[in-house]
Structures are given as structure tokens and as C-alpha cells.
Amino acid sequence: MARVPRHRRLVLPLLCLLFQGATALLFAIFVRYNHETDAALWHWGNHSNADNEFYFRYPMKGFQDVHVMVFVGFGFLMVFLQRYGFSSVAFTFLVATFTLQWATLLQGFLHSFHGGHIHVGVESLINADFCAGAVLISFGAVLGKTGPAQLLLMALLEAVLFSVNEFILLSVLGVRDAGGSMTIHTFGAYFGLFLSRVLYRSQLEKSKARQSSVYHSDLFAMIGLPVRQLSPRRPWQPFLPMGSFLRTIFLWVFWPSFNSAPTALGDGQHRTVVNTYYSLTASTLSTFALSALVSGDGRLDMVHIQNAALAGGVVVGTSSEMMLTPFGALAAGFLAGTVSTLGYKFFTPVLESRFKLQDTCGVHNLHGMPGLLGAILGVVVAALATHDAYGDGLKSVFPLIAKGQRSATSQAVYQLFGMFVTLALAAVGGSLGGLLVKLPFLDSPPDSQCFEDQVYWEVPEEPEAETQRPLRTEDTTQA
């Protein structure tokens, strides 16, 4: 079996050590506890226990749920590729972990840099987790076709552009995007898609088709883990055992917390949870309906259920803190589930044949299109904002409108502009990222070694010869 060439074996460990060394150095120079985490600063202020609790506990709660969702949902169980299981989960873990450190620094410089220091608290952790979420979405588009060193460089670049985009939208343009329809989903999806476009491998099909015969679907069927058969045309398509359904359920259950973590306290968070919850129920129902309708014979497709059902969480990312109304949440979720299911059925094949885009996990259907829909929904709901509907709550949701600095219409225009900024930065960044990870010393795996754990992991020696024996035996017997 192919090994990493001798002189390049050091690329991954050296990158890890270099990156860790650099972030550690920057931490030593710049990062300090903020006033809530520093013992002296906190006790110097005259805080009552109630204040203490107040400051402490909300982020704690939000943080833990977001953390579970990013690492268990976006990360682990992202996809089960047949011979790429170790790499899928472990590279996700590596990339997300590095991003947490790196994003702490980037977002710190942009948002909490005072007196020469970055002041970190639990909000830093939540924001870093969001950045890791966007990087993992991009990862989904190139899964199996990139090595760990390439992914680290992708994360290095993407976190920078993510932070810049987030800063432009939230701080410069005054755009509202609590749940990240734009900053997380749209940005992450299109960054990954543009990057995947640059890495297009025209011969991937043939090289994989040769190998896929090793996996006889009957074996899967026999062991009681129903799986989607590898299509001979798209062998990199994930197979879906029960395990990956757990990812769907975790994301579905924690999405209300994810969208509500960064919104204003009180009615804002409460409303976000209610809207996200109902939107997800509607996207699930529409996914089941559409999946059965488009299949031709009334049967369902597990790929749709496990992915499109979640589009309701993406689509209300921007608007769930607004007065979307419960009915609005249902309608938005229904639309998102429909669009996402149709995307898997009709658009994914076109993406590859027409646009030369190999989107391993279908991030365009789950994050790209629903993210754009969510941005547009945000435009519409912002345009409809009135003092009557929000009362004094306008100060929390649309502070610039409340202060009279903007009309609802101009807020809507800013929201729309934010969407285009996101798309532009994702396109430029993803393309640059593609060129970056093509650098020869990063050792892009050759086509024949895509979707192969053997390249990166100490796994049992390739048993190809043995596994084929029974088949040959049979043939012999039958001949």
C-alpha cells in the first residue's frame, strides 16, 4: 500500500507544532481573562451574587449546547464513508480544534482587543465554536479529497475570512444574523464549494469505480445496518448507516439552542427557540412529503431525511430572533425542506456535470441554498419591522431602527447587501483556499487514494486479496 513519501512525513506534525506554537505564543502575548473570568477584576467590582450568576450562567448554558452541536453534530458523524471513517471523524476533530484557538485570536483582535490584550470569556468560546462550525461545513464539500495538512491550511485561511466577514456584517453594516444563516451557513457552504471547484478531479469516478466492488451491499444488508449502496457513478457519495441518523437527531434537537445562543436575553432568546423549533418540524414534514413525491415509486430516500429535515434550522438563522410569527416559522421551514430535498434530487447531479463541483456531503443543499433563503427571509422580515410589532423590544432586535438611525427598509437593504458581501468573500476566499491547498508540499492525495484511510492511519494491512478470495472461490465452484 502507498505510504506518505519519506521526506513529506513531517508535514502534518510540523504544521501542528508550528500552528500550536504560534497560537501559544500569541496567547502568551495577547490573551488575558476578561473581567468575568479574572479573579482580581471580578472581585474588585462590586458584584452581587445575583449579577455574578446572571453573567455567568446564560453563556454557560448556551455554550454547552453549541459546543455539543458543533462537535457531535457538525463534526463527529459528519458522514460515514466506507473506508474513510477514521479520517472523516479525526480530521474533523483536528480542524475544529485548531480553529477554536485560531478564531479566539482573530475574533479577539476584531472584537475584544483593549489595552493591548484580548480579553476572553465564555462568549469567546461560543464565537470560536461558530467559526469552527463554518469551517466544518466547508470541510463537508471536500471530504475525502484532501489530507489533514491541507485541511489545516484551509482552516487557517477560512477562519480569517470568516472573522472578517462576520466583522463587516455585524459591526460595520449593522446586519442582524444571530443564528448565522449568512455568516455561518452561506459563508461556509460557498467557501467550501469554490474550494472544491478548484480541486476538481475529473478522473475521480473511474479510479473509485474500480475499487467499489470490494463492498458488496449484501454484506451490509446481512449485518442489519441498512446502507445506501454506493452509486457506481458517484462512489464518494456517503453511505448512511444508522449511526449517521444520530447526527441528524442531535442537530435537530440542539438547533434551537444554537440559533438562540448569541441573541439578546429574555424574549429574544425565548422567541428564537420557539421559531427554530417549529421551523424544524415543518422542514421535516415537507422533506418526507417531497422525498416520497420525487422518488417515482413513492418510496423515501434516507439521504433526504437525514439532511433536508434540518434545513428548517438553517433557514431561520437570521430571522428567528425577529417577530417571524409561529406561522411564519412553519412556512419558512416548509419551504426550506422542499428546496433542500429538490436540491439533493435534481441539483446535485447538475452541480457536478455542469459546474464540475464534487460536493461530498451535499453542503450546497443543506447549508448553501437554505442559508441564502434564510438571508432573504431576513431581508423580508426586517423590512416589515414596525414599532407596533416590536414595542420597546425593537432596541434589542434592531437597535439602529430603534435609535432612528435607519428605517426598516434601509435595514432590509443592509441585510441584502450583507448577503452579497458574504457570497463575494466566500467565493474569493474559497478560490484562494483552493490554490493554497494545491501547494505541492501539502501532498494532495492522488485520485486512487481519495476516500482511503490507509494513507493516513495505521490500520490492518489491506486485506483485498483475502476478501476477494471467497468471491473467486464461488466463481470457481460455479464454473
41 binds a copy of itself (CB under 8 A): yes
- Give the Cα separation of 145 and 307 in Å (integer): 21
* Cβ–Cβ < 8 Å for 400, 151: no
Contact pick of 110, 160, 207, 216 for a copy of itself (by CB under 8 A): 216
Applying CB under 8 A, the span of 30-38, 163-171, 174-182, 427-435 interacting with a copy of itself comes to 30-38
234 lies in the binding site for a copy of itself (CB under 8 A) = no
Q: Of these, 292, 380, 383, 408, which contacts a copy of itself (CB under 8 A)?
A: 292
The residue within the footprint of a copy of itself, chosen from 171, 295, 353, 407 (CB under 8 A), is: 295
Nearer to a copy of itself, 356 or 403 (CB): 403
| Residues 107/128, Cβ–Cβ less than 8 Å | yes
- For residue 80, what are the β-bridge partners? 239
- How many of the other CB atoms lie within 10 Å of CB of 466? 9
Are 143 and 79 in contact by the 8 Å Cβ rule? The answer is yes
What part of residues 300-339 is at the interface with a copy of itself (CB under 8 A)?
300-302, 305, 309, 323, 325-327, 330-331, 334
Contact set for a copy of itself, span 174-203 (CB under 8 A): none
Restricted to residues 124-153, the positions that interact with a copy of itself (CB under 8 A) are 124-125, 148
Q: Cβ closer to a copy of itself: 80 or 190? A: 80
Instruction: Tell me the window of 120-128, 177-185, 203-211, 431-439 that interacts with a copy of itself (CB under 8 A).
Output: 120-128
- Single residue of 213, 217, 405, 409 touching a copy of itself by CB under 8 A: 217
CB 259 within 8 A of CB 313: yes
Out of 273, 311, 366, 381, name the contact with a copy of itself by CB under 8 A: 273
Distance CA 202, CA 237 (A): 16
The rounded distance, in Å, linking the Cα atoms of 333 and 288 is: 13
361, three cell numbers: 456531503
Place of cell 434564510: 374
- The residue among 4 and 427 lying less far from a copy of itself, judged by its C-beta, is 4
Task: Decide if residue 265 touches a copy of itself (CB under 8 A).
Answer: yes
Q: Which stretch binds a copy of itself (CB under 8 A): 14-22, 341-349, 356-364, 410-418?
A: 14-22
Considering only residues 435 to 474 of the shown chain, the ones binding a copy of itself according to CB under 8 A are: 453, 455-460, 462-463, 466-467, 469-470, 473-474
Distance (Å, whole) CA 406 – CA 25: 43
Alpha-carbon distances of 8 from 3, 154, 440, rounded to whole Å: 10, 19, 10
Q: How far is the CB of 57 from a copy of itself (least distance, A)?
A: 7
Give least dist CB 205 to a copy of itself, A. Answer: 19
Cell of 168: 463587516
Size of the site for a copy of itself (CB under 8 A): 165
Contact residue for a copy of itself among 82, 186, 319, 422 (CB under 8 A): 82
Which CB atom, from 228 or from 234, has the smaller least distance to a copy of itself? 228
388 binds a copy of itself (CB under 8 A): yes
Give the CB-side neighbour count of residue 70, counting CA atoms within 13 A.
Answer: 29
Q: What is the four-CA torsion angle of 289, 294, 296, 298, rounded to 10 degrees?
A: -10
- Strand order of the β-sheet with 113-114 is 31-33, 117-120, 113-114
Interface stretch with a copy of itself, choices 164-172, 289-297, 344-352, 434-442 (CB under 8 A): 289-297
For position 213 contacting a copy of itself by CB under 8 A, the verdict is no
Nearest in space to 376 (alpha carbons), one of 420, 442, 437, 424? 420
The reply on whether position 60 binds a copy of itself by CB under 8 A is: yes
Pair 30, 116: CB distance under 8 Å = yes
Rg (CA), the chain: 23
If binding is defined by CB under 8 A, does position 298 make contact with a copy of itself?
A: yes
Q: Which of 172, 203, 210, 223 binds a copy of itself (CB under 8 A)?
A: 223
Q: What contacts 213, CB < 8 A, 6 or more positions away?
A: none
Instruction: Say if strands 117-120 and 113-114 run parallel, antiparallel, or are unpaired.
Output: antiparallel
Based on CB atoms, which residue is closest to a copy of itself, 336 or 425?
A: 336
Region 345-374 residues binding a copy of itself, contact defined as CB under 8 A: none
Answer yes or no: are the C-beta atoms of 101 and 125 closer than 8 Å: no
- Chain length of the chain: 479
Among 207, 396, 410, 448, binds a copy of itself (CB under 8 A): 396
By CB under 8 A, residue 232 contacts a copy of itself: no
Closest-CA residue to 397 (of 303, 268, 307): 268
For a copy of itself, the closer of residues 72 and 173 by Cβ is 72
Binding residue for a copy of itself, selected from 206, 210, 213, 266, defined by CB under 8 A: 266
113-114/31-33 β-pairing? unpaired
Minimum CB distance to a copy of itself, residue 117 (Å): 10
Minimum CB distance to a copy of itself smaller for 162 or for 194: 162
Quick one: cell of 76?
A: 463527529
